[in-house]
Each structure stands twice: as structure tokens, then as C-alpha cells.
Chain A
Amino acid sequence: MTEPNLVEIWVYLSASPLLGLTMTLVAYLAAFSLYQRAGGSPLLNPVLIAMAMIILVLTVSGIPYQDYFEGAQFVHFLLGPATVALAVPLYEQLSRLRRLWLPVSLAIVAGVVFAAVSSVLLARVLGATSQTQLSLAPKSATAPVAMGISEAIGGLPSLTAVLVVVTGIVGAVLGTRLFQWSGIRDDSVKGIAMGVAAHGIGTARAFQVSKQMGAFSGLAMALSAFATAMLVPWLVDWIEGVL
């Protein structure tokens, strides 16, 4: 009589948050050890590999995303305190920040405006639906901010969350190579560019390069979240009005 027991266990597991939470941690740890064993190649981005493993398991076992998220939300929730925690590495870069605040501010505003305008325009030229265009507009901001903006301007917040994560992965995977290729060597500059374009996932990658790059990336992520919240709704209105 093993079969009824297995069914009971399955019924328990699929209704409990334990499975989604454990799956998230196990997949990430496996992806991270793979990443380390491959010598830290940015192509094996841990977020990307963990996502792929979890999607495979959920698809094969027929568990809907909503049930998975019941458990995974405990990890998702930590994005909040982690954002607050970015103040610490930032404070440790205070002396450098004091000298560079003006170039940093200019670069962040330029990057935020460029990210939003170029995303909406390119999506429009290539024939994306209006809802997809609007969901793409805040994609370089960190997830909670981008989702809020997406909702306010008429995009789909849950789609924006996905686009934000993929944007971060693109930045983390290709960013360091792009800097090398374009001859950008200063870790403050690299950090600011990474944080503006690729938010927290880019920042995680930046911390692997150096503490300084991570701190500036965290700063750029926070300030560009601020600038995105202020500017993007207005920019999108302007684009819709002009074109």
C-alpha cells in the first residue's frame, strides 16, 4: 500500500510553501556551485541556471507558478531588506562618492532616460504591442520599483518582473566583457553603468569583480530606481504624445 501514501505526501507538499521555498534554495545552491566549478564564467549566471531548473521541475510535475510562489515569496520578500542593506557598502565608499557625486548624478540621469526611451522606441519599431512596450519601459529599475511603475503606466507588472530579471542577467553576463572591449577600466564607472542598466543582478555580479564596483553599482541601482520612478511615467507620456 505505498501508492496512497505517496499521493498523500504529494497532496501535502503541493499545498505547502515548504516545497517552493526549498526548491528555490536547492536550485540556486546547485546553480551557484556549477558556476564556481566552471571558474566563475558569467555565461553560467546562477540566476539563469536556477530559473531553468525550477521551470523544468514545475513544468514536468504540473505545479502552477502561483503554488510555487506561495513558498518562493519568502525569498522574494528579502529583496526589501537587501535594498536597505545597500546603504552599508555605499557608506564605505563615502570619500570616493564625495568627489564624484556630480558625474555620478549626471551619468545616472542620462542612463535612466536613455534606457526607458530606447526600450519603448525600439519595441515600437519592431512591432511589439503597446502593453509590451509599456512593460519594457522600466526594465532597468530594480524589481519592486519597476513593477509599481509598470502598473501606473498601463503595463503588466508580472511581465515587467520577468523582463527586469532577464535585463539583469543580460547585464551581468555581457557587462564585464563589454567594459573590457570598450576600454572602460575604472571600477567606479563600471559599477555605475552596471547598476543603472542591470540593477541588483548586475550589482551581484559587480561585487564579484570588486567591492568598489559593487558599492557604486548598488548606489546606481538605488538612485536610478529613484530617477526611474520620477522620470519614466512622464517620459512615456511624452513619447505617446509626440509619436
Chain B
Amino acid sequence: MTFLVGVTLLLVLQLAGEVTVRLLSWPIPGPVLGMILLFLLLLLRKRVPGSLATASSGLLTHLSLLFVPAGVGVMVHGDRLMAEWLPVVAVLLVTTLLTMLVTAGVMVLATRYLVPGYREQEQSDD
């Protein structure tokens, strides 16, 4: 029962997000707005209801499963990827790793200069 309540809540918020972005023709996807709405709701309630915790950890534990159907679509684009394999492989490898370094670098520098009290490794609560 609790799982069902949690999943229903997630779907209702996704629905609210989808309807809102269409009504206001916002360029962001409905589920992303749904996530923001749920975050605001949690800020108001100040705690995570048990049903929601169950449903969200159920979905997020195997998040990567959800990408399999789209990934299998690679077989439809075989010809194009064969013809353009060099730029595609190079872009996927090089820019993805560089993006990580750039993002991490900006965050480390910005934290150092903008949040003086925050030390690395004051964390690890897992």
C-alpha cells in the first residue's frame, strides 16, 4: 500500500509538471518541473513521508535500468554511426570527461573563494 501511495504521488507531480509546462509553453520538461514541485512540497512539510521514501528509493535503486530501452535504439542508427564513428566516439569520450573536469574545477574554486568556512572532507556521513 505505501509503495502505491508513493508512486501515485510521483505520477501526480509529474502530471502537474507536464500540464504546467504545456500551459505556459516553458522549454523545460514536465518531469523536471515535477521534481522542483516535489522539492518545494518537502520544504513545506519538513519531512519525507514513508510512502514517498519507499517509492523513490525503489525507482532510484535501479535508475540505470530505465535507460536500457533508449540505448538499444543504437541499432537503428548503425549506418550513420558507422560512417561518422570517429567524430562521434571522440566527442563522446573527450567532451564528457572534460566536462566533468571543468565542472569540478569551477566548483572547487568557487567553494574556496565564496564559501570560506567549507572544508573538503567535512562530509562522509555514509
Interface residues of A (CB under 8 A from B): 24-25, 27-28, 32, 45-47, 50-51, 54-55, 58-59, 65, 68-69, 72-73, 75-76, 78-92, 94, 96, 99-100, 102-104, 106-108, 110-111, 114-115, 118-119, 122-123, 126-129, 132, 136, 139-140, 142-145, 148, 152, 156, 158-159, 161-172, 174-175, 178-179, 182, 184-190, 192-194, 196-198, 200-201, 203-205, 207, 210-212, 214, 218, 220, 222, 225-226, 229-230, 233
Q: What is the CB-to-nearest-CB distance from A42 to chain B, in angstroms, rounded to a whole number?
A: 12
Max count, chain A CB within 10 A of own CB: residue among B39, B64, B114: B64
Chain B residues lying within 8 Å of A45, measured Cβ to Cβ, are 64
Are A161 and B70 interface neighbours, CB within 8 A? yes
CA A174 – CA B98 in complex, angstroms?
A: 12
The answer to whether B93 has its CB under 8 Å from any CB of chain A is yes
Q: Give Cα A198–Cα B99 distance, bound, in whole angstroms.
A: 9
Determine whether B5 belongs to the interface, using a CB cutoff of 8 Å to chain A.
Answer: no
Q: Is the CB of B123 within 8 A of A84?
A: no
Partner of B68, one of A47, A123, A127, A196: A47
Which residue in chain A gives the minimum CB-CB distance to B10? A81
Cβ-neighbour of B102 out of A65, A80, A89, A114 (below 8 A): A114
CA distance A41 to B65 in the complex (A): 17
Shortest A236–chain B CB gap in Å is 13
Residues of A within 8 A of B100 (CB): 111, 171, 175, 178-179, 193-194, 196-198
Contact B60 A170 (CB under 8 A): no
Closest partner residue, chain A, to B69 (CB atom): A72
- A229 and B29 form a contact (CB under 8 A): yes
State whether A162 touches B35 (Cβ < 8 A).
no
Docked Cα-Cα span, A216 to B61, in Å, equals: 15
B14 near A182 (CB under 8 angstroms)? no
Q: Which of B4-38 contact A (CB under 8 A)?
A: 7, 10-11, 13-14, 17, 27-32, 34-36, 38
27 contacts between A and B (CB under 8 A): A28-B65, A58-B72, A72-B68, A75-B65, A81-B31, A82-B63, A84-B34, A87-B35, A87-B38, A88-B38, A106-B106, A114-B98, A119-B91, A127-B84, A127-B86, A168-B67, A178-B100, A186-B120, A186-B123, A189-B104, A189-B108, A189-B120, A193-B103, A200-B63, A201-B63, A204-B62, A230-B27
CB pair B28 A226 closer than 8 Å: yes
Closest to A113 in B: B102
* B7 CB → nearest A CB, Å: 7
- Interface residues of B toward A: which range? 35 or more
The answer to whether A204 touches B48, judged by C-beta atoms less than 8 angstroms apart, is no
A81 near B11 (CB under 8 angstroms)? yes
Decide: B34 and A83 in contact? CB cutoff 8 A: yes
Specify the chain B residue showing the minimal Cβ separation from A49.
B68
Roughly how many angstroms separate A136 CA and B69 CA in the complex, as a whole number? 19
Cα distance A142–B30 when bound, in Å? 12
